[in-house]
Structure 1
Amino acid sequence: MQGIKNIIFDLGGVILNINYQLTSEAFVGLGVKHFNELYTQFHGSSLFNGLETGHVSTEEFLAEMQRHVPEGVTGEQITGAWNAMLLDFPLQRLQLLQQLRQHYNLYLLSNTNAIHLAEFNRLLQESRGIPSLGEFFDKAYYSHLMGCRKPDAECYQMVLDENGLLAEETLFIDDTLPNIEGAKAVGLQTIHLQAPRTIMDIFRPAGI
């Protein structure tokens, strides 16, 4: 951590526990037998990218999903299945963020969408009594509000430029390799967080 003044965190798999399989199972439970194929297609499609960059609205996304579910499945059920992947915020990680903020400038940079943003803030409120993840960061950046997503260079550069940060003084932590490579391309210091390691393993040995 020598020379590091700023830390940019990814959200899912780093701070928030997630399990994509639960969303797959939830959609299968609604009658979408080929959800894994559909999800893979969405990842390579303008629909998914549009949802995560704010160019596709929640309503447009739900309308498209409605085409792939059996008749009678409601928008609320689709939303519930889509959110099933979002699990919990371990208390130790949130406490660690509070400690780190005494020593570093902290930022959040998450590829997400309006549906998930509403849900994980609800989870945080209900489980920890905290209304927003913004409470833990100098600023939180969400791809659907930024108009771009990791690993695009403009995404990282926006965080650096808006906050006057130097890339060489800034550490980026993410669990996805392409996002790490994108961060390296703009000069950020990086840690590729791979399970079973957590952020607790990174900072505890160093005593923060």
Structure 2
Amino acid sequence: MIQDATKIKAVIFDWGGVCCREGEPFASFDLQYALQMNPNQLAEKAREIYDGYYIGKYTSDSFWRTIMTHFGLMENEKINPLVLSGSYLASYEVYPEVFAIISKLRSKYKIGLLSNLTPEMRDHIRPKHETVKYFDVEVYSCDDDVKSKKPMALPYQIVLEKMKVAAKNALFIDNSFKNIEVAENLGLQTIFFKDLPQFMEEIKTIL
């Protein structure tokens, strides 16, 4: 929660679920049909590989080939690294309202991005959405100097250090309650993003 808006000097956004509708690595319907599993089931069955991707253990091609081998899938025109990647990268949708808010906030605050994201999606969104125009600092779980996912403390500590801001002077926005809890335990002020209308109302406090 926002405890003291007057102390806020930086605002840190999550990506998936806050800046956009979350992307889904296993978005391919052909993959789901071939294995008769939904995305959550696929992630659970390949948990070590899946989590490893989010901390930078795989390139796009090596991840998809490892997944195909793990599930015993032969490469074909519908199931191959390029097609599976394409389905993943097309599975999210940005929230223009949030980017408009970020543009307003930039005149008053440092703006950061702290996201659990795969190298594949990170390298896709940065040029496509020109993230450098919106965020002063970007920290991703898959970065070489991070290799750790929220809710571990390290990513929060890294983004605060890079933004040169104390925890009490930072507002963190995330759609995961567990991530919010950890942020609060570390001393950050927070907004738990439940949906767009609720967020748009709460963020007015610092506009």
Write the deviation string for residues 149-177 of structure 1: whole angstroms up to 9, x where unpaired. 11111110111123321111111100011
The Cα shift of 1:109 comes to 0.3
- State which of 7, 13, 20 in structure 2 corresponds to 1:16: 20
Number of residue pairs the alignment of both structures matches: 196
Which stretch of structure 1 is more off in the superposition, 71-80 or 144-153? 71-80
**How do residues 139-150 of structure 1 correspond to structure 2 at under 5 angstroms?**
139-145=137-143, 146-150=146-150
TM-score (norm. length: structure 1)? 0.83
Write the deviation string for residues 66-91 of structure 1: whole angstroms up to 9, x where unpaired. 2334541221111123234312x233
Counterpart of 2:56 in structure 1 is 54
Q: 1:85 to 1:133 in 2, by over 3 A?
A: same
Do the aligned partners of 1:6 and 1:165 also contact (CA within 8 Å) in 2? yes
Letter in 1 for 2:155: C
The Cα shift of 1:123 comes to 4.6
Write the deviation string for residues 101-143 of structure 1: whole angstroms up to 9, x where unpaired. 111111000100111123334653xxxxxxx212101111111
Counterpart of 2:156 in structure 1 is 156
Q: 1:203 to 1:157 in 2, by over 3 A?
A: same
TM-score (norm. length: structure 2)? 0.83
1:107 aligns with 2:109: no
**How do residues 107-146 of structure 1 correspond to structure 2 at under 5 angstroms?**
107-121=112-126, 123-124=128-129, 132-145=130-143, 146=146
1:33 aligns with 2:36: yes
CA distance, structure 2, for counterparts of residue 201 and residue 34 of structure 1: 38
Letter in 2 for 1:79: S
| Percent identity between the two aligned chains | 25
After superposing on structure 2, the runs of 4+ consecutive aligned residues of structure 1 that deviate more than 4 Å are 19-22
Letter in 2 for 1:202: E
The Cα shift of 1:180 comes to 0.9
Letter in 2 for 1:75: P
CA distance, structure 1, for counterparts of residue 124 and residue 111 of structure 2: 22
The Cα shift of 1:60 comes to 2.5
Letter in 2 for 1:55: K
* Structure 2, unaligned runs of 5 or more: none
* Structure 1, unaligned runs of 5 or more: 125-131
CA distance, structure 1, for counterparts of residue 55 and residue 153 of structure 2: 14
Q: 1:144 to 1:21 in 2, by over 3 A?
A: closer
